[in-house]
Chain A
């Protein structure tokens, strides 16, 4: 699988298994993550793609009874993200996440973006102002909200709220940005904006995106992994997966025969 990616790797999943108490949700999966590229995880509901994504920032540690086996190596320092000895907080500080439904805090736009920095103990006004503006510009939101960054985030539209969440995730300059079906709660126009944004962001950050929408994966990603029942059935360059899938199951899924 690694041979498919000839580029520099940002992370590499090796024989990762994941258990919700008794139930095994991921079965010895492998995946290379190329640096400054977009890797998409696709597959039918319940195939484990969101579970997979949430391993990358140890979200599963928030709930009791969850267990990882195997490793996710983060390059260049080869930190095994899922090692129980590695502090999940350290992992989350290096790897940010954008969720399925926009989930801004009931605070101002400014405080939403600044929160990750405040968590890191940053309180210098000038520096915060600068980084908040930078993140909002990166998330293509600055032009729309610069006059009301002290308004409540709930007053923004759904698409704006999701871009705010992207800005919030970007403000801390993460090494990897995880997207969990970021447009599933948005209308087509807002979706298009987010997609354009994701494509532009890859020059700054490595991206992994889970999506239910195959066209979205085809449009934005460089690599695509097709998952089914907790396993990766096929992984390849996105063009290859969508034009010449090597597995029958993949072909059936992308042509809409199930899922």
Chain B
């Protein structure tokens, strides 16, 4: 067709119009992204400005006190650490076993489908509901008391679906050709799982576990529900003892508090100084979460390096 100046003009006009929309969306997108970023950044800055001057060694090694300048978070961070250990110890083996079972053993029928739907919904249930369940099950029925064990198991239930889902997803990422290679050599299902499925999916599983723990570390509602104390001026009994067998599980049954509860306690007081303590404790809690996430990234990198499908 011959060149037509009118059509060329029309094309240029059209392009300009299309590009205007392109730019418009670019601006909207950038603005939306910035909102998220600015809010987070402001939050962290605000927390640091308020709390940073209060951070000191004695803040970490003191019990709470009615004098704000003497108060510390020793019982809170020890409590949080111990509860997290119980949470991980409960949720990880159960979650991995359930995930492996659902992916590798169970037949695909309406029952497993139902379990799958349930599992996904379980991850979205408000945490206070878990608190109520745990109060009935662990405290009243199993009589585990308002203890570290109860707190850890409660949060363990809370993150169990996350561990199961993460396990299933990373197992599903393993190509079927790898399973067939293993079975073709005469491996049983268990040999295939222990030698291939688990080692190749471990980075995804660990990432899921740490994301779960990062959520659990900040949970307050279910922990209050099962009866964690808000003011506690002693440590649980030591897991290491001076007499044989040199370890003890008595700490599991001791009362406890955790970081978010300590923060909540301080922030709900009228004195300004306690609010500063809450901000300082917030920084520590944030750091604990950051360390866990950093560890997750490190693990993912370390294991992923070897595997590319």
Give residues in A with beta carbon < 8 Å to B: 57, 59, 62, 64, 89-90, 92-93, 96-97, 99, 101, 103-106, 115-116, 118-120, 152, 154, 165, 168-169, 172
Question: In the bound complex, do residue A116 and residue B186 qualify as a contact, i.e. CB atoms below 8 Å apart?
Answer: yes
A-B contact pairs, 18 of them (CB 8 A): A59-B183, A62-B179, A92-B183, A92-B184, A96-B184, A99-B177, A99-B181, A101-B177, A103-B177, A103-B178, A105-B196, A106-B306, A106-B307, A115-B182, A118-B195, A119-B191, A168-B185, A172-B186
Is the Cβ of A116 less than 8 Å from the Cβ of B180?
A: no
User: Is B180 touching A93 in the complex (CB atoms < 8 A)?
Assistant: no
**A116 CB, min distance to chain B CBs, angstroms:** 4
Give which listed residue, A62, A92, A99, A103, contacts B186 with CB less than 8 A: A92
Q: In residues 185-213 of chain B, which contact A (Cβ within 8 Å)?
A: 185-188, 191, 195-196, 200
What distance in Å separates the Cβ of B248 from its nearest Cβ neighbour in chain A? 38
**Nearest CB to that of A92 among chain B residues?**
B186
Give Cα A101 to B181, complex, Å: 11
In the bound complex, residues from chain B placing their C-beta under 8 Å from that of A59 are 180, 183-184
Query: Bound state CA distance, A252 and B186, in angstroms?
Result: 40
Known: A64-B107, A152-B306, A154-B308. A103 touches B180 (CB 8 A): yes
Given contact pairs A64-B108, A89-B187, A119-B186, enumerate 15 new A-B contacts (beta carbons under 8 Å). A89-B188, A92-B184, A99-B184, A101-B177, A103-B181, A105-B178, A105-B181, A105-B182, A106-B200, A106-B308, A115-B182, A115-B195, A119-B187, A119-B191, A172-B185
A-B Cβ contacts below 8 A, count: 62
A120→B178 contact, CB < 8 A: no
Minimal Cβ-Cβ distance residue in B for A94: B186
Q: Which residues of B contact A168 (CB under 8 A)?
A: 181, 185
In B96-122, the 8 Å CB interface with A consists of: 107-108
Contacts of A172 in B (CB 8 A): 185-186
Chain A contacts for B179, CB-based, 8 A: 62
1/0 per residue, CB under 8 A from A, across B158-191: the answer is 0000000000000000010111111111111001
Chain B residues numbered 260-309 whose CB sits less than 8 Å from any CB in chain A: 306-308
Distance in Å: Cβ of A108 to nearest Cβ of chain B: 10
